[in-house]
Amino acid sequence: MLKLAQTPVEPTPVPQHVAIIMDGNGRWARARGLPRTLGHREGVEALRRTVEAAGKMGVKYLTVFGFSTENWTRPVEEVDALFELMRLYVAKDLERLVKEGVCIRVIGGRESLAPDVRDIIVRAEQRSAHNSALRLTVAFNYGGRSEIVRAVQRIAADVKAGVLAPEAISADTFDLYLYTHDMPSPDLVIRTSGEQRISNFLLWQAAYAEFIFLDVLWPDFDQAALESAFHEYRQRDRRFGGVIRDATN
């Protein structure tokens, strides 16, 4: 009988924490003569595909930029549409995500959100808090600079209250005052649509992340696009400020 050689299949390493700037919804819609809001609606479909693909591929943390502190300057109908999509996304997907082991977190300023959106966020976080297969973090009304300023204010308050000594403040301490205090920094930041900017996303946390800019518009993003980003990520030599490693030393 023919015996097949037992070739052990090495699991392909994937980045532990992937952060995505989901850009290009408006251009996707414009190219089809559709209103921008339909581009965002297709963007939610791409988000669904991406959460599923990332979970299947073994990503542990997926952080997406859903609404930035600067997005308030968009026309009011577009802002309303983005909030409505957030409501619908949670209403439609929460129970499935909970069943699939996804833990949902939302980072960003909550005080300026409508009360029902705040309630939806709290419910999604509470319903999924026990899950650990994949942590899905949605940055919503999020801006990296405001997050850093908020951390400084909270550190100053602790110093003033006498619970933190100024000389005890290190980068590790600072991490603890950020929204992302209980997750690792992103290994990979992907931005779609061909733009090459960080746009106030995870400014502190992305200090040593690899950046990959893809030409695909967000509504067209899928598992193949994620795989191509991972493929490129694996070619990168992450040095974290150290020296180039080679086989001779």
- Applying CB under 6 A, which residues contact ligand FPP? 22-27, 40, 43-44, 47, 66, 71, 82, 85-86, 89, 138, 193, 218
Give Cβ neighbours of residue 238 (< 8 Å, ≥ 6 apart). 187, 208, 210
* Neighbouring C-beta atoms of residue 90, cutoff 10 Å: 19
Residue 246's φ and ψ, nearest 5 degrees, are -140, 170
Q: Which is nearer to ligand FPP, 63 or 193 (CB)?
A: 193
Q: What angle do CA 142, 144, 147 make, to 5 degrees?
A: 80
> What stretches of the chain show up as alpha helix (H) in DSSP?
25-31, 36-57, 76-99, 115-128, 144-160, 171-176, 223-235
We find the least distance from the C-beta atom of residue 77 to ligand FPP, in angstroms, to be 13
Catalytic residue among 23, 25, 93, 141: 23
Q: Which is nearer to ligand FPP, 179 or 218 (CB)?
A: 218
We find the least distance from the C-beta atom of residue 8 to ligand FPP, in angstroms, to be 39
Give Cβ neighbours of residue 140 (< 8 Å, ≥ 6 apart). 66, 67, 86, 106, 107, 108, 113, 121
Instruction: Respond yes or no: is residue 116 known to be catalytic.
Output: no
Instruction: Respond yes or no: is residue 25 known to be catalytic.
Output: no
Helix pair 76-99, 115-128: axis angle to 10 deg: 20
Give Cβ neighbours of residue 45 (< 8 Å, ≥ 6 apart). 219
Q: Which is nearer to ligand FPP, 192 or 205 (CB)?
A: 192
We find the least distance from the C-beta atom of residue 89 to ligand FPP, in angstroms, to be 4
We find the least distance from the C-beta atom of residue 115 to ligand FPP, in angstroms, to be 18
Catalytic residue among 25, 71, 220, 222: 71
Q: Which is nearer to ligand FPP, 57 or 94 (CB)?
A: 94
Q: Which residue is nearest to ligand FPP (CB)?
A: 26
**Any idea which residues carry the catalytic annotation?**
23, 71
